[in-house]
Amino acid sequence: MTAWTQICHIEDIPVLGSRRVARDTGLDVAVFRNDADEVFALLDRCPHKGGPLSQGIVFGTSVACPLHNWNINLCDGQAQAPDNGCTPRFEVKVDAGLVYLKADELVGHATDLTRPIAGPVTRKTTGA
Ligand code: FES
């Protein structure tokens, strides 16, 4: 039997927005809601350079990454052509207005992925 973890009420997710779910291990899960009240869940990490998809703009069944505007399909996490890449998706269900994620995925799915580290470029110098 599948164990589900209750996350929130669907009304707690803004329409055309998202809510982040923190995990003990791994990056957050971004739970999205579109204007048809469909709910989707992806790792909060763009397949391009790790941008926070939870801060993107939801349209239809896609989200536009806030960093470089890649469009990511909320159903399967695939970047839309011509871009190429995929972010892990999570099973989600809505029952009586409550949103659930699979308990085992919250604990163990895509926990090895990290966000790229931003910072200054270090340059090698050669001896004068
Ligand atoms: S990091 Fe998302 S489009 Fe570049």
Question: What is the number of the ligand 1 atom nearest to the C-alpha of 68?
Answer: 3
- Output the pLDDT for position 22: 97
Contacts of 68 (CB under 8 A, 6+ apart): 48, 49, 51
Rounded CA-CA distance 35/115 in Å is 29
| pLDDT tens across the length of the chain (128 residues) | 889 999 999 999 999 999 999 999 999 999 999 999 999 999 999 999 999 999 999 999 999 999 999 999 999 999 999 999 999 999 999 999 999 999 999 999 999 998 877 767 677 777 65
Which pTM was predicted? 0.90
DSSP conformational letter for 44:
S
Distance 69 CA to ligand 1 centre (A): 6
Q: What is the residue with the minimal CA distance to atom 4 of ligand 1?
A: 68
Domain 11-90 class in CATH: mainly beta
Q: Answer yes or no: are the C-beta atoms of 28 and 21 closer than 8 Å.
A: yes
**First CA to last CA across the chain, in angstroms?**
68
Q: Domain boundaries in the chain?
A: 11-90
Q: Which pLDDT score is estimated for 12?
A: 98
